[in-house]
Structure formats: C-alpha cells, structure tokens
Amino acid sequence: MKSALKFSVQRMGVLLAYGVLSLLIVLAISMIAQVIRTHVDPLRNWFYPMHIFIPDHCAGSDPVVIYERMISKQFTGSYRAQFTEVIDLNGNFGFPICVYQSGEFEYRPRADIRATPKLSEFIGEACKLPPGKYRQETTWHPLRPGYVDETTSLVSNIFSVIPATDPRCVGGR
C-alpha cells in the first residue's frame, strides 16, 4: 500500500511538472506569435495612406476630397478626421475645432489608389467649418484582434473656407 501511495505521489509530481512545462510552452508560443504579427505584418505593409487634398471652397459647399492610399489586404477599421485652424501667417495651428470619428467598416484591396468622396461623405455632416484657413489630419485605426494596436496618420494641405458672401463664391463655387 505504501509503495502504491509513493508511486501515485511521484506520478502526480511528474504530471504537475508536465502541466507547468506545457503552460510555459503555450505562453512562449503566444508571445512569439504576437511579435510575428507586429513585426512581420505591420500595418504599413498593407495599408499605406499617401496623399490627401482638400480644395479651397466656399462656406456651405461640399467639395470633392482627393486622397490616395494603398490597400493590399482586407481589414476592418475606422478613422478619425480632425480639423485645426491656421492661426497665423507662419502656419502655426490652434486647437482642433472639429473631430469626426467614423464607425467600423471594411477596407478591401483595390486596383485604384485614388478615392474622391465629397467632404460630407468623408467626415459626415458633423464638421461645418466657418470661413478661415484649416488643415485636416486623418488617423486610421485597423481593428485586428490579437494584434498590437497601431495607427497611421496623414495631414492634408492647408485649405481655405471662403465666406459665402465673397465675390468668388457667387455662382456656386
């Protein structure tokens, strides 16, 4: 009976050691997989924003925004558009005056790299900019479970919103 008990205790010790070893192996594999996801397949390899242009336009109009990006892998993501007013002739910027946060949607690989949405389609109806000079910064955020949280941003040109009463705006510019 004593030898059977001794054998059972030894067997339990061996099983416990194997269990701890297995847990350590699983944790190590998980950590290696995380490193591979982040460093072998970073966001810039399959989503790369290149250019965004917002033309000068009259207050109340809805200009076409031109932005170019490369998408080589389908993913779910969102973006945030932030508008900041130019506060002096040196191009210094003030605080953001409008921020738009998109909902989730699917990005799909495309042959064309240029998109030309209306400003209202790009930022919703949330940002009605008063006359002034602005720049816009877009930050894309892919939603990839199991991957490190990473983003990429792009800043537009400086553009003007011209008062609707300005002679340049007569005729629906």
CATH of 43-169, one of 2.60.40, 2.40.70, 2.20.28, 1.10.3210: 2.60.40
pTM: 0.71
Residues 159, 20: Cα–Cα separation, whole Å: 61
What value does the mean pLDDT of the chain take?
81
- Structure confidence at residue 173 as a pLDDT band (50, 70, 90): very low
Question: What type of residue is 107?
Answer: Y
Determine the average pLDDT of the residues in 23-51.
73
Contacts of 110 (CB under 8 A, 6+ apart): 71
71-121 per-position pLDDT tens digit: 988 888 888 999 999 877 676 778 888 888 888 888 889 877 888 889 888
So where are the chain's domains? 1-40, 43-169
Q: In 3-state terms, what secondary structure has residue 117? A: coil
115-151 per-position pLDDT tens digit: 888 988 888 776 888 999 999 999 988 887 666 678 8
* Number of other residues whose CB lies within 10 A of the CB of residue 80: 16
